[in-house]
């Protein structure tokens, strides 16, 4: 005689992989925050011999000028976090504004802005950032943040437009308009809170792209100028000694990999939490 199967609500469990993402990002964030108050050596301090292997005095070794690589890794983490956060903030400000305006615009302007988003998305973010840097004729940390923010904005704008149009088709929006609620109030009290979780996932992914693009710009000499120690600049400086002192290229590459993978795992966890159709996929 078979016993009836009873179903009980299961407690939602967080995927351990998502916790791994939290740990990876946490390590980089901790290193970046600590670098504001402490580093093993000064950035310009040539305290060791040239191309020393990792040892007790220099935990990550030294570069070809005798500078401590662990200090550069910590400051590189700070720059990656600042550039990624600044670029995402600028991209979100531009993208969310234009996306909401496109959703509220007439059909002609909506189609025009949608086509513009698609055209800009067809260009790589790094290419758009390089064009902005070239237009400003200046390679600096602020220029890199501005350039990457502009490059990320079309993706954010396209996602915002789609999500906003979906919200505008709901019955409670019609009820809010009938009750006399103004369009700005609808945007701030109904649209933005409802699309924020999904935008958060997208912005987390854009953060990883911004970090990669900043490293590429610095590698090409278009990012933060010396004496800033960007991971991309560390890779560029280590390429001539990669066979004799591989740690100079491996360690910044590993740090970049850690941050980007961690952010993507966190974004995947946010998507699983806020989008039930993707949970467990």
Answer with the residue of higher pLDDT: 15 or 5: 15
Query: Where is mean pLDDT largest: 11-15, 24-28, 107-111, 141-145?
Result: 24-28
Q: Binning pLDDT at 50, 70 and 90, where does residue 99 land? A: very high
pLDDT at 13: 58
Q: Compute, in degrees rounded to 10, the torsion defined by CA atoms 80, 60, 71, 267.
A: 20
pLDDT at 12: 52
DSSP 8: -
Question: Mutual orientation of helices 125-136 and 141-168 as an angle, nearest 10°?
Answer: 130
Between CA 248 and CA 218 the distance in angstroms is 16
* Sequence-ordered list of residues with C-beta below 8 angstroms from that of 141, at least 6 positions apart, any chain: 79, 82, 83, 223, 224, 228
For residue 8, pLDDT over 50 is answered with no
**Residue 68, strand partner residues:** 62
Cβ-contact 165, 104 below 8 angstroms: no
State the average pLDDT for the chain: 88
Asked if the peptide bond before residue 199 counts as cis, ω within 30 degrees of 0, the response is: no
**Residue 62, strand partner residues:** 68
pLDDT at 202: 94
3-state class (DSSP) for residue 43:
coil
- The share of the chain scoring above pLDDT 90, in percent, equals 66
What's the mean pLDDT in 127-139?
84
Among residues 238, 241, 265, 266, the alpha carbon closest in space to that of 253 is found at 238
For residue 184, pLDDT over 50 is answered with yes
For residue 6, pLDDT over 70 is answered with no
Q: pLDDT tens digits, residue range 231-271?
A: 999 999 999 999 999 999 999 999 999 999 999 999 988 88
Between CA 37 and CA 78 the distance in angstroms is 11
Answer with the residue of higher pLDDT: 166 or 9: 166
Q: Please, what are the domains in the chain?
A: 69-278 (1.10.3720.10)
Q: Binning pLDDT at 50, 70 and 90, where does residue 138 land? A: confident
Q: pLDDT tens digits, residue range 76-95?
A: 999 999 999 999 999 999 99
What's the mean pLDDT in 103-129?
89
Q: Binning pLDDT at 50, 70 and 90, where does residue 277 land? A: low
For residue 4, pLDDT over 50 is answered with no
* Sequence-ordered list of residues with C-beta below 8 angstroms from that of 112, at least 6 positions apart, any chain: none
Q: Binning pLDDT at 50, 70 and 90, where does residue 17 land? A: confident
């Amino acid at each position: 005689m078979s016993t009836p199967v009873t179903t009980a609500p299961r407690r939602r469990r967080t995927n351990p992989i998502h916790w791994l993402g939290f740990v990876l990002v946490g390590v980089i964030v901790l290193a970046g925050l600590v670098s504001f108050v402490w580093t093993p050596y000064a950035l310009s301090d040539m305290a060791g011999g040239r191309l020393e292997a990792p040892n007790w005095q220099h935990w990550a070794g030294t570069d070809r000028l005798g500078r401590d690589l662990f200090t550069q890794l910590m400051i590189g983490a700070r720059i990656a976090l600042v550039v990624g956060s600044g670029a995402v903030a600028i991209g979100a400000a531009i993208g969310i504004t234009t996306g909401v305006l496109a959703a509220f615009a007439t059909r002609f302007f909506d189609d025009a802005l949608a086509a513009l988003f698609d055209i800009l998305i067809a260009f790589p973010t790094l290419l758009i950032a390089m064009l902005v840097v070239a237009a400003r004729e200046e390679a600096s940390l602020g220029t890199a943040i501005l350039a990457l923010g502009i490059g990320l904005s079309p993706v954010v704008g396209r996602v915002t437009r789609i999500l906003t149009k979906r919200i505008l088709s709901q019955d409670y929006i019609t009820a809010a308009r009938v009750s006399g609620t103004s369009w700005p109030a609808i945007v701030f009290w109904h649209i933005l809170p409802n699309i924020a979780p999904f935008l958060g996932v997208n912005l987390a992914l854009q953060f990883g792209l911004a970090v990669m693009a900043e490293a590429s710009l610095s590698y090409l000499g278009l990012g933060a100028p010396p004496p800033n120690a960007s991971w991309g600049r560390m890779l560029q400086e280590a390429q001539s000694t990669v066979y004799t002192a591989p740690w100079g290229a491996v360690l910044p590459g590993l740090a970049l990999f850690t941050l980007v993978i961690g952010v993507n795992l966190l974004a995947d966890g946010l998507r699983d939490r806020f989008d039930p159709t993707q949970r467990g996929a």
